[in-house]
Amino acid sequence: MEVLYGLHPVEEALKAGRRRFDHVLVAQERHDARLAQLVLLCRQSGVRVRQESREQLTLTAQNPAHQGVVALVYPQESLSIEDLFTPQPATPGAARLLLALDGVEDPQNLGALLRVADGAGVDGIVLTERRAAPLSPVAVKASAGAAEHLRIARVVNLVRSLEELKKQNLWIIGLDERGSCDYDQFDFTGNLVLVLGREGEGLHDLVRKTCDHLLRIPMAGGVSSLNVSAAGAVVLYEAFRQRRNAARSAAGALPGAAPASKPKKQKGLGS
């Protein structure tokens, strides 16, 4: 049995409908409309609700930041890289955007990146099984429940998985301070996988060599790079901006705008 805690994570798990719930514990000391709404959602979903003391919830969650809500859920079935080969049914025909994380170890960073990925319209996430943060209750809470709406695949060998995604006609784009192109000069409107590296160390050498393009975020201050979750937010929302504008332009939603120029053909590294 796994634990979810916090209002947002439990609420989003109920809405997403991917988790099988055993029961939900709520703090008997808390009485407010927000909690009442969550209890109603549990009952509408056929999930048992039980009141317990706040101390008991803290023991169950092993964390005091549960906001008076703890859910006991059955483990989700893990996805494989093959599960990400096809787009989500909700976005047929749209260009693909995946996010791959090369050994992000901090659960807060992982959760923040999942929250950004969901907001930026990412189609799937690739995580490594070794030397990386698990999808723990801390990470799920940091994602504000976004983890429940994303397709997440765990892989043993990231390089091999990226090569498989290349065969599915996706470009592999790494973010690296040694990149040769500024992120805002790149065309993100195609089928892409954005790869982010470890905190403080960046991409592994083999992962870097597997990338078709390496992008950098220009820095004006004294430090050379951003935190991985901040860097991911910058680049993913630039991709989201470009893709949204391209979709609007294609749909004729920008009256008076000049026709979009044909994107330049992008060559991969070593081509």
Task: Quote the percentage of the chain above a pLDDT of 90.
Answer: 70
Residues 197 and 156 in one domain: yes
Q: How far is CA 266 from the centre of its chain?
A: 26
Kindly provide the b/e burial profile for residues 103-139, where b requires at least 16 CB atoms within 10 angstroms of the residue's own CB: bbebbebbbbbbbbbbebebbbbbbbeeebbebebbb
- The boundaries of the domain holding residue 240 are 81-250
Residue 270 lies in a domain: no
Residue 179 lies in a domain: yes
Residues 188 and 85 in one domain: yes
Per residue in 218-254, pLDDT (tens digit) is 988 777 778 999 999 999 999 999 999 998 888 875 4
Residues 93 and 190 in one domain: yes
Domains contained in the chain, number = 2
Residue 271 lies in a domain: no
Check which CATH number belongs to the domain holding 67 and give it: 3.30.1330.30
Q: How far is CA 210 from CA 132, 178, 239, 270, in A?
A: 19, 15, 21, 10
Residue 119 pLDDT:
95
d(CA 197, CA 156): 16
Of the pLDDT bands very low, low, confident and very high (cuts 50, 70, 90), residue 203 is very high
Residue 76 pLDDT:
81
Does 131 have pLDDT greater than 90? no
